[in-house]
Amino acid sequence: MLSIKGHVIERLLQGAFICRTTDEDGWRFLTTPGNREEVDAYLSQLNRQIATVGTGADSEVFFCGYRQFDDDERKVISQQFRDICQALTPIAEWLVLVQEAAAQDAPLTEGAPLRLNELQTVIEDTPALREQLARISHYRLFGSTSLATDTQVKLVFKRLCDLGYLTRPNPDKQIYLATGKLDYLYEVIRFIDEAEGLGLEAQAELASQGQLL
pLDDT in tens, 121-147: 999 999 999 999 999 999 999 998 888
Among 181, 169, 167, residue whose Cα is nearest residue 19: 181
Reported as a pLDDT band with limits 50, 70 and 90, residue 14 is very high
d(CA 31, CA 16): 16
Among 105, 114, 188, residue whose Cα is nearest residue 156: 114
Reported as a pLDDT band with limits 50, 70 and 90, residue 194 is confident
Judge whether residue 19 has pLDDT over 90. yes
132-139, long-range: CB within 8 Å, 24+ apart, which pairs?
A: 132/93, 132/96, 132/97, 132/100, 133/97, 135/93, 136/90, 136/93, 136/94, 136/97, 139/89, 139/90
Query: Which pLDDT score, from 0 to 100, does residue 213 have?
Result: 43
> Which helix or strand (DSSP H or E) is residue 64 part of?
strand 61-66
- 10's CB contacts (< 8 A; 6+ apart) are 2
DSSP 44-63: HTTTEEEEEESSSGGG-EEE
Per the rule left: phi > 0, alpha: psi between -120 and 50, beta: everything else, 47 is: left
Cα 27 to Cα 59, 78, 118, 123, 130: the distances in Å are 10, 27, 30, 35, 37
Query: Which pLDDT score, from 0 to 100, does residue 206 have?
Result: 54
Query: Which pLDDT score, from 0 to 100, does residue 68 have?
Result: 84
Judge whether residue 11 has pLDDT over 50. yes
Query: Which pLDDT score, from 0 to 100, does residue 198 have?
Result: 58
